Structure formats: C-alpha cells, structure tokens
Structure 1
Amino acid sequence: MPFCGTPIDGSLWSSWNIPLLAVVLAIGVWYWATWRRWRASGGTGDRSAGVGRKVSFYSGLTLFYLVAASPVDYIGHMYLFSVHMTAMALEYMVVPPLVLLGLPEWMVRSWMQVRGIERLIRVLSRPLFALITLNLLFTAYHFPSVFDFLMSHGSLAVWVHLVMMIAAFINWLPVIQPFAGVKRLSELQKIIYLFADAVLLTPACAFIIFSGGPLYVTYDAMPRLIPSLSIYVDQQLGGIIMKLTQEAAYIGAIVYIFVQWTRKEKERDRQDKKGQLVFFPVDKDGFHGANTW
C-alpha cells in the first residue's frame, strides 16, 4: 500500500502492540474499579473534580498507547525521525502530567504504607535528582553512536524507553505530587523548577537542530516515506517538535500553577477578611454592639 510514494510492508498494520494494550486496559479497569469502591464506601468530594481527574488519567493512558504501541511507533523507528521525536515528546512531556493529575491523594495513600515506598518517593521527588535524571538520559540517548546502537537492538531499546518513561514521571513529581506526607514545592518553586527543566533540555535539541548535517545512520538506509523531506530536514523537524512540545507542556503547567496560586491567595484574603473584627455602631444606650471574629 503506498504511503507518500513509498511502499510500506504489512509490518505497519501488524505493529499494534496487543500485550501492551492488555496492560493499558487492565490499568484502566483498576482505575475505574477503585473510583467505584471509593464512592460505594461513602467517599465524598467535588464530583466535577472527580470527572476532571478521570478525563486526565484516561487521556494520558490513551495517548501513551497511541504513541508507544501503534503504527506511530513503527514509523518513527523505521522511517521518520520527526515522528519518533513527536512520540517521545508526547510520551515524556504530556503523558506523565495527565496521569499524575488523575491520581487523587486517597487513591495512592495505601501505596505509601508499603515498606520503603515513602522513603523512595521522597528521594525520587527531590528537585535536583528529578531534574537531572530525565535530561541526562535524554541527552545521552541522542548521541549518534548510542542512538544508532539502540535502534539496531530493538529489545534493548524497549528497556531503555521504559527507564526513560519512569524518569519522565520522576521529572514531573516535584510539580504534581499526589503523595501525602512528602515535601511539596511552593507555587513559585514549581515555576522555577519548570523553567530550569526547559533550559536543561535545550542543548540536546539545539544539537539535533543545528548539527549541520544528518547525525543518525539508522535513517540513511530506510526508504523515504516523504521524498521531498530530506533526512537532515526530517532531523531538524524532530528537534523542533521536541522543543516546542516541551515548551507548550511547561507553559501550560505554569499557567495552571499560576491560576491555582491566584485562587489560593484570593481564598486566603477572603478568610482573612472574615477573621477581622467587625465593630458595630454605638447603640442608643451608648454601648457598642457585640464584636465578632
């Protein structure tokens, strides 16, 4: 079947990862059942917030499967570097915050009771560790020799991507922290953290975009799905997509944090006004009315 002028074999249409689909469906069922049990046990809360969490979680889960276990993944590994980078950008910059936002504190409370988990989460959510881990792995992964080696060893690449996915969730933990009892950053600290995160990824993207020529031998031997798109332009496009996706995700997160921060401050001001003394005017007998807090 032709695709942009280049034949694609049947591998494209057989590249849907069914075992991973089973895992994703199992996670989705667990999430739905956990909400159902919580409601049945008398759980209370803002229903609109619950709907928002569910939409966020299932959106993240669906997006993960579409970019990691569909023909998108096959095309990215076999034909187009830009598609590969698009999948990575969505998988590491968009999926983790969506999933973490979908996890209410009560849902993960039991996890913290497992021996060693709370200590592990405290270590993983330290900003410096979370910042360095993903950005270091991402930079190392895109060294030409490392990239070409991993792309030629598919089973090893799967494990590397799994490690990077875990690192992506760790990278978002200081910003979206559903675990009770773990130290949390202030809104200002979260904004500074995201800014630093964006800066640390810039050198790797700049290296890919401004290399002056193709970096990866992997795509030299592959047929061009889009003849008018050269290997180098495809490479540049991939670097640009990665950087723009990161910027969009982080700017979105900063806006969300700022809005929540503003709401907190308004609520705090409202509570402060309630707590102020209210003096009633002097009555006809010359006494003040009752003061109230």
Structure 2
Amino acid sequence: MHGGPGHRPPLPLSPGGRRAPRGIQAGLAAVAVVLLWPAEARASHLAGAAVLRWSDWDWDPMILAGLGATVLAWWWVSRRFRPRRWQPLFFWLGMLGLVVALLSPIHTGSGYLFTIHMVQHMLLTLVAPPLLALAVPPAFLGWLYRRPGPARVLHAVWSPLPALVLFNGVLVFWHLPFAYDATLASGWVHAAEHLSFVAAGLVFWGVIASPVPKLVRASFGLRLGLVVVADLVNFLVGFALAFAGRPFYRHYTEVPRLWGLNPLDDLRLGGAVMWVMGQMMYAIPVLVLLSVLLRREQGPGAFPGESPIRSIPSPHS
C-alpha cells in the first residue's frame, strides 16, 4: 500500500504530530523570506550609464515558479523516501546556488558583462547541479529503477558516455557566438540555455555522485575519467576565450559597460574566470574520487550509500 521499501508516509505538520526534518523547515522558511522580501529591495533596471547595485535583484515570475516547483518536488520526494541526514543541506545549498545565479545581481549584470555571465554559468553547471544530485535520496532512485518506463529512460541518458556528451555538448554549444548572442536577444532562449545547463548538469553529476556504480554502469575509476575529460573541455573553452584576439559576442559591444571594462578585456577576464573557477570546482570531485579509489584499494567495503539500492535489477537483464 505504501510503495517500495524506501517509502514512508507523509509527515504531519500539526502540533500534535511529527514534524518535518528541521533542515526542510529551515529551507522553506528561507524561501518564504526570499519570496516575501519587500518591494523596495527588488531589481532596479539598469539604464543609461551601467551601474550595478546590490539591490538589483530580478524577481522574474517564471524563475520564481520554477524554483518553487523544484522545492515542492523535493518536498514530495523527501516525505516519501527518507533522505540521509546531510541531503537536506545539499538540497538547500543547491537551491541557494540557483537563487544567486538566477535572481541576484549576478543575473542582472550578466547582460552587461561577459565576466559576470561566466560566473552565472559556473553556478548553473558546477555548483547547483552537483549539490542537487547529491540531495536525491537513494531510495527514490531505487523506486524509479523498479519501474520499467523510467528505468529505460534513466539507463539511456544516465550513463557515462551520454552524460559526458550531453554535459560538454551543452557547454560548448551555448558558447558559440550565434547561440550566445541569441540567448541575450531572447528571454525564452536565455531560459532554455539555463534550463539545459541545469538539466545536463544533473545528468552528468548524477552519474558522478550515484551511490551504486552499476546503476549508472560506471566504476569510480571511470567516473574520475569523466570528470577529468569534462574539466579539460571547460579548460579549453575558457582558454580560447581568455586569449581571444577580438570580441566574440556582438551583444557586449552594444551595451553600456560596467566597471570600465572594454568588450575584449571583458571577454578575456570571463574566459579566465571560466578557466580558473572551473579548475577549482573540478578539483573537488577529483579529490573525492581519488580518496574513494585509495580506500577501496586498501581493503573491501561498501561505499557509503550502496546498501539501500544495491540489488536493483537492470531493466535489460
């Protein structure tokens, strides 16, 4: 009656019943504060001379709706499939990354400086997605893999090669001049870009963070190789931008400038941000995976998180 072994009944919120985990309550309170923030703190539009202020938040209703839907989805999952102690923290940190990337002055300034836009892209590819991937309860993955339809889709996409190609293909495509300028000319295209960054990031980092190698058909050694390849692609794109001889993106040659940066210096600085920040972010999973491999060489033992879904059969078996 209650679904798979990871299922649990909804937690009542009445004073006499059990309450939701404190991490979830705190996260919902933080979201409520953001949504109810006074109107005076909302985004002021940049006009004339480009001046970026801390109060230039962009409260786009579509973005707020998407963030709210994400919170509700995780709330539903966490009530039915018990998350581990640290997973609510990962979820809310991931949501914080999305809020900073999509609502804060970083989003507002991204239309005026390529450098700021690259910071936003790093948040949408290397910060929020891995944190959100780590927040998925293992029991929920088991529930999905026991259903033939979702299992076939997950096995087709959530595998090493498709995940690697999708993640890096999305990154390279949106940095091509025609695609990049299209995102800044159309709000819908820009939204599609951001959505594709997060979706591809969830697929890729979901493979890297999966608690059971056979679910994603990737050993920890293979995962380390995937991270190194993705790091190399990010490095090459950032390197090409950092040493460009001319501006690549027409949009930034036509808008008011921030902080006195001309379009070429802005492009080079943005490439350096992508290059250096990317190297720093990729170093974290590389070190974690190396640590796991070294521990496994020292002796047998299950990697934390394997037990809840170790016996899930492949739909192809």
1:142-183 per-residue CA deviation (whole Å, 9 max, x = no partner) reads 222222233212212212332232122222233112579624
- Note if 1:53 corresponds to 2:87: yes
Q: 2:225 aligns with which of 176, 192, 214?
A: 192
> Which amino acid is 1:24 matched to?
L
Instruction: State the Cα RMSD in Å.
Output: 3.0
1:240–1:106 Cα change, 3 Å = same
Task: State the SS of the aligned residue for 1:182.
Answer: helix
State how far apart, in whole Å, the 1-side matches of 2:204 and 2:63 are.
23
**Who is 2:121 aligned against?**
88
1:37–1:110 Cα change, 3 Å = closer
Q: How far 1:87 sits from its partner (Å)?
A: 0.5
State how far apart, in whole Å, the 2-side matches of 1:56 and 1:64 are.
12
**Who is 1:218 aligned against?**
251
**Who is 2:140 aligned against?**
107
Q: How far 1:101 sits from its partner (Å)?
A: 0.9
**Who is 1:62 aligned against?**
96
**Structure 2 unmatched runs, 5+:** 1-43, 302-317
1:237–1:266 Cα change, 3 Å = same
- Note if 1:146 corresponds to 2:179: yes
1:104-127 per-residue CA deviation (whole Å, 9 max, x = no partner) reads 211333333444211111121222
- TM-score, normalised to structure 1, is 0.76
Which has the higher mean CA deviation after the structures are superposed, 110-119 or 212-221? 110-119
**Structure 1 unmatched runs, 5+:** 40-48, 270-293
- Aligned sequence identity (%): 23
Whose radius of gyration is greater, 1 or 2? 1
1:233-263 per-residue CA deviation (whole Å, 9 max, x = no partner) reads 1111111111222222221001112223344
**Who is 2:264 aligned against?**
232
> Which amino acid is 1:213 matched to?
R
- Note if 1:27 corresponds to 2:27: no
Q: How far 1:131 sits from its partner (Å)?
A: 1.5
- TM-score, normalised to structure 2, is 0.71
1:192–1:54 Cα change, 3 Å = same
Q: Does structure 1 retain, via aligned residues, the 8 Å contact 2:160–2:217?
A: no
1:71-108 per-residue CA deviation (whole Å, 9 max, x = no partner) reads 3212102x110000110011111211111111121133
**Who is 2:37 aligned against?**
none
Matched positions, count: 257
